[in-house]
């Protein structure tokens, strides 16, 4: 079984078509790719990923998420953030610094233009 097949079997709620995962927004594909890369680097196993993703989805449902599938990659991203902090790849403070930098960059970017994060926004963070 390939790594992709293994992952797809463990996360059956993953939005897919006949060719594989589908994404509505570029950030969803990027979050997907980051998780695949983190797994390939040995940061976590797929069973660990599936367990944490399940935890994130259940917490969101308990908080009122209607679980229509539209928020799936928000849970995927929350899982990625949680596992990278749990495994010591980044600290919570570093994660918050990067989130803040992206938020400021997005707010400063004219509509329709790509959001660009300045290298200085990541000073001291090895990601």
Angle at 40 between CA 34 and CA 43, to 5 degrees: 80
List the structure tokens of 116.
């660009």
pLDDT digit string (tens) for 58-107? 999 999 998 888 899 999 999 999 999 999 999 999 999 988 998 998 99
Q: How far is CA 69 from CA 13, 41, 75, in A?
A: 8, 28, 10
**55: its two tokens:** 């935890």
Least trusted range by pLDDT, from 8-17, 47-56, 66-75 = 8-17
Beta-bridge partners for 20 = 17
Provide the 8-state DSSP code for 16.
E
Helix, strand, or coil here: 104?
A: helix
Query: Binning pLDDT at 50, 70 and 90, where does residue 125 land?
Result: low
Task: Report the pLDDT averaged over residues 117-127.
Answer: 66
């Amino acid at each position: 079984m390939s790594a992709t097949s293994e992952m797809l079997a463990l996360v059956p709620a993953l939005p897919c078509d006949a060719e594989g995962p589908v994404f509505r927004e570029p950030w969803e594909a990027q979050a997907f790719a980051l998780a695949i890369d983190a797994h390939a680097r040995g940061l976590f196993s797929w069973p660990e990923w599936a367990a944490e993703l399940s935890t994130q989805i259940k917490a969101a449902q308990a908080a009122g998420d209607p679980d229509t599938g539209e928020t799936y990659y928000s849970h995927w991203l929350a899982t990625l953030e949680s596992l990278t902090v749990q495994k010591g790849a980044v600290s919570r403070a570093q994660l918050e610094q990067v989130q803040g930098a992206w938020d400021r960059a997005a707010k400063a970017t004219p509509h329709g233009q790509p959001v660009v994060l300045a290298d200085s926004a990541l000073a001291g963070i090895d990601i």
